[in-house]
Structure formats: structure tokens, C-alpha cells
Amino acid sequence: MAVRPRPAKSVAATQRCVWALLLGAAAAAAVPARAADDANPFYFTVYVQDAWPKQSVTNAQIQQINAMFGTRFDDWSDVANLSVGAQLFKRVSPRWKLGLQVDYSQGSIKGSATVATEAGPARLAFEQRYSAYADLYLVAHYLPCPACTRVVPFLYGGGGVGYEKDRTTLRLANDYVDQDLLVDNDGWFPTFSAGLGADVPLSRTGPWYVEVGAAYVWARMTHTVPASGALAPAPRVTADADFTGPNVWIGLGTRF
């Protein structure tokens, strides 16, 4: 099972830009904020996010199963990839906010079908379940229009660490045959994100606002893990969790 490498130069250049944005925000912390921001310098936002991760190798492996058995199991391009998250920012200067972000999600794809075997018709059941995905980012917002009040646009950048745990199972069974595949995978990986968005205050004087945004994430974990069962193609297989791709979010926040 081959792994498609990422273009290292473009990813490294993007990561340098993200870190430059974060360092710029940190340096701006030395610049006094506007007096109007001193009373409510913190921003807390909770949001729902939808993502379109590449999962190229994983999807190709699922399509290999479909080709081998004549099934039509879904892959990750066929389902929504929803997550929830929260951000806590501090306004450190008129144009910069610096803070932390955390995201969490679970998800699975599964299916079953009757397939023809030498031992007669058998039931084939497939499932890949992400029991946990979480990340923690150091993030910055750059405000190109700090004086805006009705819509406050921002540029977004962040870098941090992610963790995921998943299990893949495949079982072929009837009265005469019972074969399966089990692959467990988990680990930590670096993750980066860059994008843009806007805060829309719900009133002229109140602290509440709606936030919308879109970003692109670079996050991937690739390694070999044990595979067990009669359907395992080898004692060790490639586990590739590629969360690289675009995402959008909408949230509700407050200043305090």
C-alpha cells in the first residue's frame, strides 16, 4: 500500500508563513491596545466546523476493497466530517489577537454487503471508526480593519499538535468461512492552519458576536502498524491519516 508524499517545499513554506504570523502577534503584544479594548480584551468563541480532508491513501484502500469484492462501501469523501471547537483570544494590540484553539471530533464509515465466495454467498462487513480526533493550536488573528464595527474581518494562522485514534475492521463470514481484518492506529502529529474570517457583532454595544471563517489545514500522520486476521494483506500495513484540506466554521462568541 503506497503512500503519496506531500510536496515538502510548499508545505514548509506555508508553515513558515504561519509561524511568522504567530511571531508577529507575539511581538505586537508589546504594543498597547486601544483604550476601548482594555475593558473587554478577551474573546471566547465556540463553533461547529465542517472539513474536507484528503484521506487519499485511506480512500484508495477502501476502493481496493470495493474492487476486490464488488462492493460499494463509502469512503471519507462521501460523508460529512464535522467537529466542534473553542477559541480563547486576548486582544494584544489594535491589529492583533493571540490565543489558543482546541477541536474535537469522532466519526465512522461502515457498510455491509453479500458477496460471492468459493464457499457460497457470505456477508462482508466493513467499518473504519475514528474514536477520537483532537488538536491544540496556538493561533493569531490579524485585523486589517481594527476600526470596523459592523463586520470585523481577520486573517487567521495557527500551529500545534493533533492526536487521533482509529480502528479498521473487515469481516467475511457465512456458515463455512469466518475471516477478518483488524488494524488499530493512533498517534500524535504536527498540524498547521491558515485562513480568514469575520466577526459580526449582534449589537452595537453588546459583547456577543457571530464568527464565520474558512481555512486550509496541513496535518498528516503516516506510519506502519500491525494488522491481524486472515484478510490482512501483510503482518504490517500502512496507516495514513491525512487531514490536510479545507474547512469552514460558524460560531458564537462573547467579549469579556
What mean pLDDT comes out for the span 188-197?
Answer: 98
Residues in the chain: 256
| Average pLDDT, integer, range 57-85 | 94
The three-class DSSP label of residue 108 is strand
Q: Model confidence over 163-184: pLDDT tens digits?
A: 999 999 999 999 999 999 999 9
Which residue type is seen at 52? W
Dist CA 139 CA 132 (whole Å): 22
Residue 1 resides in a domain? no
**Number of other residues whose CB lies within 10 A of the CB of residue 229:** 14
Domain that holds residue 66: 8-255
Instruction: Identify whether 97 is part of a domain.
Output: yes
pLDDT digits (tens, 9 = 90+) for 18-37: 555 555 545 544 445 444 45
- Is 213 within the bounds of a domain? yes
Residue 123 lies in a domain: yes
Q: What was the pLDDT predicted at 40?
A: 85
How many folded domains does the chain comprise? Answer: 1
The domain spanning residue 77 has which CATH number? 2.40.160.20
Residue 2 lies in a domain: no
